[in-house]
Structure 1
Amino acid sequence: MIMNILLWILIAVGIIHLVRRLFAGPKTDPSTTSETSRAVEILKERYARGEITAEEFQTMQSHLR
């Protein structure tokens, strides 16, 4: 009898935990992170093509992060 009650309590706790994880918002803003990553990638491409100098690259990269 006690094992049956404990089993149902465990199932209820598991369901509550699952629902909270499914409906919890993200811890960080993924759009900001992906936008920054893309900006850094573009900056690397410009540096690789020789459009900007190493100093400009470092300055711009520090502003993005």
Structure 2
Amino acid sequence: MMFDWSSAGWGWMFFGGIFMLIFWCAIIGLIIWGIVQLVRKGQPSSSATKTHYMETLKERYAKGEISKEEFDQMKKDLLS
């Protein structure tokens, strides 16, 4: 009996479609991830910003620009 080649490809076509869908979803996901990383790179993180402000606050206190009470209040505000 001869092999019927016309019906042999349907299963592979189904799996090929699934793999193509997975491939394009991965490509689109990588593009979105890359855009998000580029946008985040331009913005400082909140912990880096707090650290910068704390250093400025300490410098102002060391120079005598603010009192101990003002320093403590501003520190409390920054850390909360």
Give the superposition deviation at 1:63.
6.2
The alignment yields a C-alpha RMSD, in angstroms, of 3.1
Give the 4+ runs in structure 1 shifted more than 6 A: none
Residue aligning to 1:21: 33
Larger radius of gyration: 2
TM-score, length of structure 2 as denominator length: 0.51
CA distance in 1, matches of 2:56, 2:21: 53
State how many pairs are aligned: 61
TM-score, length of structure 1 as denominator length: 0.59
Residue aligning to 1:4: 16
Q: Does 1:60 align with 2:60?
A: no
Deviates more, 1:37-46 or 1:11-20: 37-46
CA distance in 1, matches of 2:27, 2:21: 10
CA distance in 1, matches of 2:68, 2:55: 15
For 1:43, the aligned partner's letter is L
Which blocks of at least 5 consecutive residues in structure 1 are unaligned?
none
CA distance in 2, matches of 1:40, 1:21: 32
Matched residues, percent identical?
Answer: 28
Q: Give the number of the structure with larger relative contact order, counting CA–CA contacts within 8 Å between residues 6 or more apart.
A: 1
